[in-house]
Amino acid sequence: MTATTGTVPVRPFSWRFTTPLYLASVLNPVNSSLIATALVPIAHGIGVSIGQTAALVTALYLASAVAQPTAGKAGEVFGPRRVLIVGIVAVAVGGLVGGVAPNLLTLLLSRVLIGLGTSCAYPTAMLLIRQRAREAGMAQPPGGVLGGLQITGVATASLGLPLGGLLVGGFGWRAVFLVNIPVALIALVAALAWVEADGPPAKRGLREVASRLDVAGIVGFAAAMLALLVFLFELPTVHWSILALSIVLWLADIGWELRAASPFLDVRLLAARPALTNTYVLFGLVMLCQYVVLYGVTQWIEAVRGYNASESGLLLLPMTLVSGIAIALISRRNMVRGPVIAAAVTALAGSAGVLLLNSGAWIGLVAILTFLFGASTGLAVAGYQTALYTHAPPEQLGTASGLLRTFGYVGSIASSAITGMVFHHQVSDDGIHLIGWIMIGVSLGLTLLTLADRTLRTRPGTQSR
């Protein structure tokens, strides 16, 4: 049992404290890819086209992109443990709804609930970790704690592919929904038992709560983000009216936030702290590269090389393993500049390697490329989370952490748009080579922006103003 001094444990970041945070955080990335192997069986099971089931992927991304910073803001106002528990319960309910769903509409509701619930984990975990570090008199939590959170929160995304294949093959497509129930229940019990309760909620009127949450700002952000994401998802068909609507909504939301007493999206903060803004943009570009590999290369493996979903998922396992190892090694040192430069250069090398893929290439080349992108993702994730913790104001860490994930989702959705445009008519060697050139352009831009970013020289533990 962990000894305590007053209310602060001698080992403030013991496994009891971190276990529920890690368990809850793993649900979002795994669910994002878990559904991929179940789309065809779902279409057959409920009698809809395969194209219609793609909305199940979209639903979770849209819900998560909006809910991540919203959950962080709610955690700042109501207490992170309360929001975490509500999120875990929503995941269990979403899993149950999906497990018994009779039609596509009910499955969409399930995916939205799962997206909203799983989005509560990462921003509230960051708040709880900072709170525990402050109580223990630490300027910054141990790097291994933040690294573990990123391993469970990002590096596990590719695990959903082989896991989904095993679940669908062994128990049918409903298993990819029902599996959330036992995991959520374990996380709920652990959170109730081992995460210290929030203080008594402050007595606030409805108007004050709405002001503190900045409900109008959240609604404006959600509307603008949804319009942008719908535009990206509809590519290669270009709907200029949707893009124009998104721009108008963004401008209106920014205008509101500049006047809000407690802004949800603190525009002045982002302008005053370029280090934080750069962290978001560069992280989004890294996630774009990762998910292009996750989606584009997977489609090529299955369509051109003839591997099934489970086999292609296994070929991507090096990405998960290597990114986890890289995060574990780098996060302990709280480094930023070196890892993110290495991440950009490694992504550039991996992107060039995609040009070597063709129908006659050695299949082991795929494993080598996923190894490179796994290393790139791990190095970047560890570096950018340290940068976020360093540059975000303590009182806004929940919202700031959620925004980091939102930029990651924008990158992943952009990657889906890229693969959708390139493989619109046929998955081919020429298509994967075009994707390789696009990735070279993105990773070259990432490398140049990273080298030019002076804020990355800021030492961890100092605030950039």
CATH of residue 300's domain is: 1.20.1250.20
| Chain centre to alpha carbon of residue 2 | 32
Mark whether 327 and 298 lie in a shared domain.
yes
Kindly state whether residue 208 falls inside one of the protein's structural domains: no
| Chain centre to alpha carbon of residue 72 | 14
Mark whether 334 and 398 lie in a shared domain.
yes
Mark whether 276 and 220 lie in a shared domain.
no
Mark whether 145 and 285 lie in a shared domain.
no
Kindly state whether residue 382 falls inside one of the protein's structural domains: yes
Region 84-92: what's the mean pLDDT? 97
What is the rounded CA–CA span in Å between residue 215 and residue 144? 35
Q: What is the pTM of this model?
A: 0.80
- Summarised one tens digit per residue, pLDDT across range 176-204 is 999 999 999 999 999 999 999 988 877 77
Region 194-216: what's the mean pLDDT? 83
Angle, helices 397-422 vs 50-78, to 10°: value is 170
Torsion sign (Cα): 70, 76, 80, 83 = negative
Region 128-135: what's the mean pLDDT? 90
Domain residues for the domain of 445 are 269-465
**Whether pLDDT at 46 is above 50:** yes
What is the rounded CA–CA span in Å between residue 403 and residue 426? 35
Q: Is 172 helix (H, G, I), strand (E, B) or coil?
A: coil
What is the rounded CA–CA span in Å between residue 208 and residue 204? 6
Query: What is the chain's length?
Result: 465
Mark whether 354 and 249 lie in a shared domain.
no
Kindly state whether residue 206 falls inside one of the protein's structural domains: no
Kindly state whether residue 202 falls inside one of the protein's structural domains: no
Kindly state whether residue 169 falls inside one of the protein's structural domains: yes
What is the rounded CA–CA span in Å between residue 365 and residue 85? 43
Whether 253 contacts 217, CB under 8 Å: yes
**Whether pLDDT at 237 is above 90:** no
From 75-89, 148-162, 352-366, 416-430, the region with the lowest mean pLDDT = 148-162
Neighbouring C-beta atoms of residue 316, cutoff 10 Å: 26
Q: How far is CA 341 from CA 174, 310, 410, 416, in A?
A: 42, 33, 22, 25
Q: How far is CA 197 from CA 76, 335, 440, in A?
A: 14, 32, 48
Torsion sign (Cα): 14, 15, 20, 23 = positive
**Whether pLDDT at 171 is above 60:** yes
Mark whether 431 and 306 lie in a shared domain.
yes
**Whether pLDDT at 17 is above 70:** yes
Mark whether 113 and 44 lie in a shared domain.
yes
- Summarised one tens digit per residue, pLDDT across range 356-413 is 999 888 988 988 998 898 899 889 888 888 888 888 888 888 888 888 888 888 887 7
Kindly state whether residue 207 falls inside one of the protein's structural domains: no
Mark whether 183 and 332 lie in a shared domain.
no
What is the rounded CA–CA span in Å between residue 285 and residue 418? 13
Residue 266 is given by DSSP the state -
- Summarised one tens digit per residue, pLDDT across range 412-442 is 778 877 887 888 778 889 999 999 999 999 9
Please report which helix (H) or strand (E) contains residue 244, including its range: helix 240-257
User: What amino acid is encoded at 166 in this protein?
Assistant: L
Spatial CA neighbour of 346 closest among 316, 326, 332, 360: 326
Kindly state whether residue 443 falls inside one of the protein's structural domains: yes
Q: How far apart are the first and last CA of the chain?
A: 42
Kindly state whether residue 205 falls inside one of the protein's structural domains: no
Region at 226 (left for phi over 0; alpha for psi -120 to 50; beta for the rest): alpha
Q: Is 396 helix (H, G, I), strand (E, B) or coil?
A: helix
Name the domain count of the chain.
3
Spatial CA neighbour of 419 closest among 240, 315, 329, 292: 292
Q: How far is CA 325 from CA 38, 148, 318, 338, in A?
A: 29, 10, 10, 16
* Predicted local confidence at residue 309, as pLDDT: 65
* Predicted local confidence at residue 463, as pLDDT: 40
**107 or 52, higher pLDDT:** 107
Cis peptide before 236 (omega within 30 of 0): yes
Neighbouring C-beta atoms of residue 189, cutoff 10 Å: 13
Chain mean pLDDT for the chain: 85
Mark whether 189 and 252 lie in a shared domain.
no
* Predicted local confidence at residue 7, as pLDDT: 56
**Whether pLDDT at 320 is above 80:** no
**Whether pLDDT at 216 is above 60:** yes
Q: What tokens appear for 421 in the block?
A: 């445009």
Mark whether 235 and 333 lie in a shared domain.
no
Mark whether 289 and 422 lie in a shared domain.
yes
Mark whether 162 and 183 lie in a shared domain.
yes
